[in-house]
Chain A
Amino acid sequence: MIGSRHPARSDELGRFKLIASAIAGRLVEVAPVEPGERPWTDGVTVFATVDASPRDQLRCVAVQAALLAAGSLDPEILRAVARRPALVRRYLAVEGHRALAGQEALLPTAVRSLIDRAVAARTESPAASLAIAMGREALADPPEIFGTIHPRHVRARVEPVEERAVRQHVPRRQGTDLLCEPDGGEDDDSVVPDFVSSSIGGGGLIGRLLKTVLGDARSTLGGQPGADAPTRWSPRAARVARTVALTTANASRPDHIAVVEQRGTTYPEWDAYRRRYRHDWCTVVEVEPKLEDVGPFVAPAPHALRRPLARLGMELERRRRQLQGDDIDIDAAVEARVESLAGSPPDEATYIESQRRRRDLAVLLLLDISGSSGKPSATGATVHAHQRAAAAALTAALHDLGDRVALYGFRSQGRSAVHVVPVKRFRDSLDSHVMRRLGALVPGTYTRLGAAIRHGGLVLDRDAGTSRRLLVVLSDGFAYDHGYEGPYAEADARRALAEVRRRGTGCVCLSIAADTDVQTLRRVFGTAAHATIPRAEQLAGVVGPLFRSALRSAQLQRRAWQRKARTHERLEIERKTG
């Protein structure tokens, strides 16, 4: 085995992150375990021994990753073994071998030698292993390298919904980031998102009541202890919860919403059920972010983004029929020749010019700052943190390249209060104020995606001043507000994107670190170019093709629209596209 033995200790295990993720089948971190402790995992991070040979380090990481892959840390199982260390040991002695054997095809040789096939053959599921462990027969202790399981510390992902916007809320129970003790809630209920104790129905009686009804086992949202399936974010469960939140909306709307001045711009909303617009339905208000005592947001270096974006701005650079250029425009040359043979003065412009053109691009970034983006992602940091880092990097990179760029946050609380927070307007310079405003953004409340998109499109049309325009929506694709959910919300968001695109503005939707499934994103974003990436750092890989394809299709749309606009009534067009 190669590699120095004693570099910075905590970083040393970081090398195992990829292999652990490969075996576990999802992104996991690797960190050193507390001295004297045995290796274990909380479902997000594998805690491995540092003071071991590299070979053993690899083995203990692989065992924990295999447990995650095999669903050995299923919440049901964890409940059964909680507070029973002897049972944990016996369970691990059986299940560890099953987990490894199940992943054998993926394991390095050094790890495969750990498998006791006789034991592995006796069980075919975590439940079967548990049954054996609960039996009376004598079982050998698991090898030291198997580490241990800390049932109470297997994390569902943390759910720290930001509630600064809400004055009063139900005090949180300590340790809600751990899987709570079973209290009768079935699996689906345990993934109820934190709407009940968030702004709506917060401190109200109904809210408390609902909280009791729904059980306290919340904030296991999208958690992944052990198996993928049971605790996964399920749209069905989510819908139940959202409906509940909806019905309490009027009962306990927080006072501060009423303070919002009822001015701003009104937008229509598409009613998919009636197949027509509700005119002047949503009011979008631009609100300045509150600059509390937060430091400026430190943006990640945008260098990696510059190259793909730089090429983007220079795309349509081949011009035909130029007086000079580095390629002959054959068609023009032939025509010129024909003309001269026919006796008329030929057109001398017979070259294709590949000159770099002046940049002609304006980009408006719409950053989703609704409560759902406060969810932690698989990598630990919140979705909001990832999205914000991406927004900052994109803004800085585009600004550096000389493009016009604006950044707005958006969230909503009902159709009359769609808040759009200007972080950087087109006319603002990119300075520390912008970064402070970005740092002050706090996720909260809901997402009326359609209205925000329409507003973004309007701002682009009004302020961009370029012919090539791009609207970039950074969102988890989780469209939800009062009276705005499910197919209705998805259809409206899709519609809004189509409207913006029809006016010749390219649309790109980026989901970063969110666990919204691809189908939902497809329904929300429709045929707009969209991509999901697990981390903001991977932006550089996707922005090039994404932006390019969005701009390209926008250009086609623009031409088509101009043609149509000349011949048809506007309403006629709107009726047609759907």
Chain B
Amino acid sequence: MTRGTRPYYVPVGTEELVFKAAFRQGLSVLLKGPTGCGKTRFVEAMAYELGRPLITVACHDDLTTADLVGRFLLKASETVWVDGPLTRAVREGAICYLDEVVEARQDTTVVLHPLADHRRQLPIDRLGVTLDAAPGFCLVVSYNPGYQSVLKDMKDSTRQRMVAIELDFPPPEVEEKIVVHEAGIDHDTAARLVRLAQAVRRLETAALREVASTRVLVAAARLTVDGLSLRDAARAAVAGPLTDDPMVTAGLFEMIDAYLDESK
């Protein structure tokens, strides 16, 4: 395992403590939080600190159990078993991160049950074996409770096997720090961007479905590092991704001008 630098993550509350405690106790972790608030980065930082490899699976609605656990492949008229990412993590004692787990089909997530509770086992019926999770294995799933009821897709029986950590967008001062660090821009510009984001976030449910995340702020800031004006960068990185509606776009442009224009 290569030890690079620790992925940049600024703790806001007790999330690091909870995560590490859960890891040491062999409990599974459920991360909740809006898009782009730093869930993935948090897991990366934790994996680094705990010295475990991280295996990430982006879940989608066609994800089958075989995609997670593994399957037989044909190789020169012989079948070869190939471990899926989950099986690999169980064998190696890695942190297995299932991103946006609600996207996966419900019958798929059932395979997580024996892994997520005290048994810490992965039954592979096609091989006829049951693997005990190696020490250091930790199951982490995340989802975005944005859609109002679609989130209920996550079965209670799955949820209750997990320790939940709720993440949200960081408070302004922390977010400023993050934008400064990630993009390498000055504090004042970062503060302007963050204020814009704060205002945009007030529009959630009223006019926008998703709001400006920390990720888009960093993207905007990085565009300015490459020479774009702050305004153009925000238009491209903040307003554009949020909406296709011309009226809303015009309103967002107006907000960008109001919050970011240096001349005011």
Contact surface of A with B, Cβ cutoff 8 Å: 1-3, 14-19, 21-23, 25-27, 55, 58, 105-106, 108-111, 318, 328, 330-331, 333-334, 337, 378, 518, 522, 525, 527-532, 534, 537-538, 541-542, 545-546, 548-549, 552-553, 556
Q: Is the CB of A18 within 8 A of B254?
A: yes
CB pairs A–B below 8 angstroms (15 shown):
A2-B261, A3-B257, A16-B251, A18-B254, A19-B255, A19-B258, A22-B255, A108-B195, A378-B206, A522-B149, A528-B149, A529-B150, A532-B148, A538-B209, A546-B150
CB neighbours of A556 from chain B (8 A):
106
A337 and B73 alpha carbons, distance in the complex (Å): 11
Interface flag for B153 (CB, 8 Å): yes
Q: Closest Cβ of chain B: how far from A307's Cβ, in Å?
A: 11
CB neighbours of B61 from chain A (8 A):
548
Contact surface of B with A, Cβ cutoff 8 Å: 61-62, 66, 71-74, 77, 79, 106, 147-150, 152-153, 172, 195, 198-200, 202-203, 205-207, 209, 231, 245, 247-248, 250-255, 257-259, 261, 263-264
Q: Is the CB of B255 within 8 A of A333?
A: no
User: B254's closest neighbor in chain A, by CB?
Assistant: A15
Knowing A1-B257, A2-B257, A542-B147, the reply to whether A18 touches B264 (Cβ < 8 A) is: no
A108 and B258 alpha carbons, distance in the complex (Å): 6
The 6 closest A-B CB pairs, nearest first, are: A18-B251, A108-B258, A110-B264, A22-B199, A15-B254, A22-B202
CB neighbours of B152 from chain A (8 A):
527, 529
> What is the predominant secondary structure among interface residues of chain A facing chain B?
helix
Q: Is the CB of A333 within 8 A of B251?
A: no
Q: Is the CB of A106 within 8 A of B198?
A: yes
CB neighbours of A542 from chain B (8 A):
147, 209
A399 and B202 alpha carbons, distance in the complex (Å): 36
Q: Is the CB of B72 within 8 A of A18?
A: no
CB neighbours of B202 from chain A (8 A):
21-23, 25, 106
Q: Is the CB of A529 within 8 A of B149?
A: yes
Q: Closest Cβ of chain A: how far from B235's Cβ, in Å?
A: 11
Q: Closest Cβ of chain B: how far from A323's Cβ, in Å?
A: 18
A537 and B206 alpha carbons, distance in the complex (Å): 12
Q: Closest Cβ of chain B: how far from A169's Cβ, in Å?
A: 34
Q: A14-B247, A330-B71, A532-B205 are in contact. List 5 more A-B contacts (CB 8 A).
A: A17-B251, A27-B206, A58-B258, A111-B258, A545-B147
Q: Closest Cβ of chain B: how far from A181's Cβ, in Å?
A: 31
Residue with the greatest number of chain A CB neighbours at <10 A, chosen from B153, B251, B253: B251
CB neighbours of B200 from chain A (8 A):
22
Q: Is the CB of B199 within 8 A of A19?
A: yes
Q: Closest Cβ of chain B: how far from A64's Cβ, in Å?
A: 15
CB neighbours of A3 from chain B (8 A):
254, 257
CB neighbours of B252 from chain A (8 A):
18
User: B153's closest neighbor in chain A, by CB?
Assistant: A549
A522 and B149 alpha carbons, distance in the complex (Å): 9
User: A69's closest neighbor in chain B, by CB?
Assistant: B202
Q: Is the CB of A333 within 8 A of B207?
A: no
Knowing A18-B251, A530-B148, the reply to whether A334 touches B79 (Cβ < 8 A) is: yes
CB neighbours of B74 from chain A (8 A):
328, 330, 333-334, 337
CB neighbours of B254 from chain A (8 A):
3, 15-16, 18-19, 58
Q: Is the CB of A18 within 8 A of B248?
A: yes
Q: Closest Cβ of chain A: how far from B145's Cβ, in Å?
A: 12
CB neighbours of A525 from chain B (8 A):
149
Q: Is the CB of A26 within 8 A of B258?
A: no
User: A545's closest neighbor in chain B, by CB?
Assistant: B150
User: A525's closest neighbor in chain B, by CB?
Assistant: B149
Knowing A18-B207, A518-B148, A529-B149, the reply to whether A55 touches B198 (Cβ < 8 A) is: no
